Amino acid sequence: MNQRFFLVLDELDAFCMSRNRTQEHDAIRRAMTTLMLELDKFKPSTTQKFLIFGITNVPELIDTAVVRRFSVKRSVEAKFSLELFENFINYLNKPMQYTTSREKAEKLFSIYHQRLLTPGDIKSIYKNLFLDSFNNNFSKDDLDKKIVDLFEKEFSTGEHLQKSKELAS
Amino acid sequence: MANQEFESDEDQMIYKLTGHKNLIGWVIKQLEKEGIECQRTTGNDPNGDILYLKEEDE
């Protein structure tokens, strides 16, 4: 049999935060220690049929002892090209039956780069806007203005992480 | 929006409930477009805002 099995541990930071940075509950510490002991039982050199993935958006906060137990470490920087960005925002625009013009998309794209927004940040902007549209009859011009405004003011994960690093150093 | 300011608590409640009502209407329309039979519940049904009708349950 040539089957492979995958185990995906999403949000690994939920119970694998660095032991010297947090005041974790004892149960969380025990869960992390148990995970490490279980990971030690797998020998990647003898079997590659069972693969374990640990996923987090804050890799710097994960306990180094946990990180060490994963054979391969990879980071993904999801940055859109202008074309993909335009497709993405027009996909998010669909429920509001609205289309962003090329000119506006270029403006939003430059804010996206400048403010280090992530796809998650953009989805959150559109989610709030969509919910807001149930209370307001936005015209196309209203939406054009509002989206630019939200791109400029709403939460940016990139900026947040940058500030956190500056404070830590 | 979360940072919107309201003159009174009642205005805020009206805003939230209007958004909620319109959102449910929108979801029902989308379900109907897909041919999924459903109806709005009333009486603050603890099971949810939309009743999805399954053929086998009828």
Res B39: pLDDT = 92
Q: How many CB pairs under 8 A join A and B?
A: 16
Closest CA to A92 of A119, A63, A57: A119
| Cβ pair A134:B22 closer than 8 A | yes
Give the pLDDT band of residue A22 (cuts 50, 70, 90).
low
| Cβ pair A128:B1 closer than 8 A | yes
Per the prediction, chain A carries an average pLDDT of 88
Interface with chain A: mutation pick from B1, B6, B11, highest number of A CBs within 10 Å:
B1
d(CA A114, nearest CA chain B) in Å: 24
pLDDT at residue B50 greater than cutoff 90: yes
Res A60: pLDDT = 83
Res A66: pLDDT = 92
Beta-sheet pairing, B50-52 with B38-40? antiparallel
Res A78: pLDDT = 76
d(CA B1, nearest CA chain A) in Å: 6
